[in-house]
Structure formats: C-alpha cells, structure tokens
Amino acid sequence: MLSRVISFDEVVKTSIETFRNTFGAEPELAACAPGRVNLIGEHIDYNDGFVLPMALQLGTVIVGRRNGTDSTCDVVTCSDSIQEGTKRAQFDSSTIAKGSPKWLNYVKGVMFHFRQPVPGFDAVIHTNVPVGSGLSSSAALEVATLTFLEQLTGKPVPSMSDGAKMCQRAEHTFANVPCGIMDQLIALGGRADHALLIDCRNLDTEPIPFDAPELAILICNSNVKHELSSSEYPVRRRQCQEALELMGLNSYRDATLEHLKALENANELLVRRARHVITEIERTKAAAEALKAKDFTKMGQLMTESHKSLSEDFDVSCYELDLLVEATVATRGVLGSRMTGGGFGGCTVTLVQRAALADVVKEMDTIYSRKTGGKYRARFYLAQPGNGARPIELGAYLR
C-alpha cells in the first residue's frame, strides 16, 4: 500500500510548535523548497546534458526570526530522518566553517556563498523528504535556506540560475559532493503540473506540461541507503571527463556514438561511461517531445531504456534497484520504470496506469520482500508535480 507521508501543513505546524518550545517566541519568517524526482536524464547534468525532473509536493521547511544578535545562529532540526549528530547547533555567521553535525553543513554552505552579511537568527528545520532516498533532500535544504536568507536579509539573489549555482557551490565545498546543478534548479523553478526540461550547458529551462489524469507517477523507495560523498559519484565524473578528452571534444553535446571509436584503444569502461552519457542526452530530448505529444507509451519505453543504460553502462544501479525495475515493468499497467537519483540505492520512478496502481504496488511489494529475503521493505509514494521554492505566509498558521 502507499506509504503515509506527513503533509506539508503538518511539517509547517510542527516546525512552528518546535520553535515556540525551543525559543519561547513565535517565528516571523518561513520558507520552503521541494524535493524532486528525475523522470529521465541521470548523471548527465554535470556533462552538459538535458534533464527532465519535476518538483515534488514533498519539501523542507525553515521557520525562524532574527534573535537580536549580530551573528549568533541557533538552528534546530525536528526531522526524524536525521540520525547522526545533534539536532541543535549554534554557530557564528561571521566565521562560518564546516564541521559537525553534517546536516548543518548544507545550511552553512549556502550562508557562506550567499556573500551578504547575515544577522543572528533562530530557526527550526523540518522536512518530509525521505533522506538518502535519491529525492534530493540535500538540495531541498539548500534552496530552503537560500529562500529563508533572502527574506531574513532583504537581499534577493538576482536570478534563478544564480541561486542554483550558489547552492551547488555550497554542496561542493561544505558537503564535499561534486553534484551537478539539476537538483538546485528544479527546487527553485518547479511548477505544478509540469516537468522542467533543463539544459545543463546554459541553464535554460522549459516547463513541459504533464497532463495525464489517467496515469500515476509512482516512487518506490528501496530503503537501500546511499552516501554520495563516499560512493562512486566522484569517480563517474572523472571517468566521463577522461573519456571526453580522449574523444577530443569539449562537451558531450558535440558527441555522437561515432566518437566512441576514438576510445577503442582505451579502457572498455570509458566506452561504456561515454555511451551512457551520449545516449541519455538523446533519450531525454526524446522524452520531452513525447510528453509534449502526450505519447506516454514512448515516455515509458525511454524510462526503461534509461535504467538499462544506468545499470549496464554506468554501473550506478544495484541489485535491489534492478529487482524493483524488473518486477515493475513485468506488471500489467506499467508503461516504464527506472532508478532515479545518484544511484547505489534510493528510489525508482514508474509511469503506471492509475487504474492498475494498487495491483502494481502489491506485486512490487511482494516480489521485493521475497527476493531480498525480507531484509528490505519498499515504501511507495504517489508523486504529483509541485511548485518550487517560496516564502510561506505564516499568518494562517499562527492564528
């Protein structure tokens, strides 16, 4: 059955109540930013590719207020998904340095790259984005922080792309994750009932209507956790760059399958890495056209092809993700399925006929539990395209 997720209103209300209990006052500012699911276009945002994510109606909320100090920041998280370190920490906004707890480094990184004086503040952070699931809880936290800082200082960032780059730098420098820019852009630019086609070479974006009431977007969390900073993610980036240089190109946007001949004398691994990038860029462009044409059968086929490439050429899947996709695409009513996110665990995303949704969930749950020996139980979420980052009007919650 579908997993229950605490609602956005519950997240806001819990944040406010925690703020009152912790700081003995009412919050004055609030901001939120969504998680995301990437429909297609994986591991190509750092290779000048196209990606096609959508913002979720799951997100991260920050409530807070100035505390009257010049630079003392007191931050609390009330998220149950934070398992490591303390849930409350203080630091000085004038001398920001990364450290412990790890979750606070995402906040500190955005503050550091914000490049504006930040007054002392108290804040509470809460989220209903599953952490470590590949739904971009990190970018949701970064972008929520940025949106909160804009309100706190009255200094808006000039453009969406500037904000996305700022949050990306925060993740590079304070979380040590060499991520691409897709997650930050969709967290800022998401639009309800749309996917967002992002050109990662120039950061142009195009909202793509996703109008299919007869279909459902099903997210399945494998509950296999991944930690990108200690995974193969940085290795994949280096391999892609090495292959590009051996092909004599400056960008994968100029690459075709013919260029792979230049890698014939190189490691076969580099051939596979480059082949994934080249074909995934083409699949993503085709998927955007399929959505525009409401050709959802084609969209599903492209999603499944994407997973095969990620598993066989890019080696970022795992047994559990492959198991979920194989079980899913064999089930009646499923148009396509693939892993989503960095890989090595996390989630799959599936395009399924809404009338078949209950049967698909039951079948996936049964097969996954049996074939993992009961070690893992999948969690299922129904996804709808949501809006990007925004301030929250607290008036309705404080009455």
Q: Supply the residues annotated as catalytic.
A: 183
3-state SS assignment for residue 317 = coil
Residue 360 burial by Cβ neighbours in a 10 Å radius (0-12, 13-18, 19+): buried
CA distance 345 to 306: 16
> Are 195 and 52 spatial neighbours (Cβ–Cβ below 8 Å)?
yes
**Residue of 15, 18, 10, 19 lying closest to 57 (CA atoms):** 10
Judge whether 37 and 190 are in contact, CB under 8 Å: no
Q: Which of 41, 35, 11 is nearest to 303 (CA)?
A: 41
Beta-ladder partners of 228: none
Query: Helices 160-174 and 137-153 meet at what angle, rounded to 10?
Result: 120
How many Cα atoms sit within 13 Å of 196 on the Cβ side?
27
Q: Helix, strand or coil for residue 231? A: coil
Whether the CA torsion 84, 89, 93, 96 is positive or negative: it is negative
Q: Is 67 in contact with 152 (CB distance < 8 Å)?
A: no
C-alpha dihedral over 185, 186, 188, 191, to 10 degrees?
A: 140
Q: What is the C-alpha separation between 237 and 299, in angstroms, rounded?
A: 27
Selection from 269, 276, 148, 291 nearest residue 210 by Cα: 291
Residue 123 token pair: 């804040």
- Phi, psi for 283 (deg, rounded to 5): -60, -40
**By the 8 A CB rule, do 181 and 205 touch?**
no
